[in-house]
Amino acid sequence: MSIKILLIDDDEDEQCIFTEALKKINDPIKCLFAVTPQQGLKLLNQSLPDFVFLDMNMPALNGLQLLEIIKKNDRLKQIPVIMYSTTINQTFTNTAVSKGAFACIKKKDTIQELADTLKKLISKNS
């Protein structure tokens, strides 16, 4: 069975890095991308992924605001949302988890580090 992930991140380079990291994981994974929070919500309403990875720093709505919208929606609230950003620290993690985030991961320096982290997160909740 294939795992479906939605990455909501306005940085297209980050989408490429994320894709390369997913290729290093042996599990069959399908990844959809949204470059705006609004596009992410539209994709969520069309098809439910197994995981949402959500960048913090985006225009219009930031990641925490979008997390709150997702967690208030009865249809979406059970989806594990992982905050994925360069600005992750303990204070942010505490806030995100209190708002319903499954986990928070800081963007990694290498594709292999990201692949290892993604594999742990996916296997933890599969």
CATH number at residue 58: 3.40.50.2300
Tens of pLDDT along the chain (126 residues)?
A: 689 999 999 998 999 999 999 999 877 899 999 999 999 999 999 989 999 999 998 888 899 999 999 999 999 999 999 999 988 999 999 999 999 999 999 988 899 999 999 999 888 765
pTM of the model: 0.93
Residue 54 lies in a domain: yes
Q: How many domains does the chain have?
A: 1
Residue 96 lies in a domain: yes
Residue 17 lies in a domain: yes
Residue 102 lies in a domain: yes
Residue among 113, 64, 70 nearest 92 (CA):
64
* Alpha carbon separation from 114 to 23, 61, 78, 88, 119 (Å, rounded): 11, 25, 24, 14, 9
Residue among 121, 113, 115 nearest 83 (CA):
121
Residue 126 lies in a domain: no
* Alpha carbon separation from 33 to 40, 74, 75 (Å, rounded): 8, 22, 20
Angle at 101 between CA 95 and CA 105, to 5 degrees: 85
Domain that holds residue 46: 3-109
Beta-carbon contacts of residue 1 (< 8 Å; ≥ 6 apart): 28
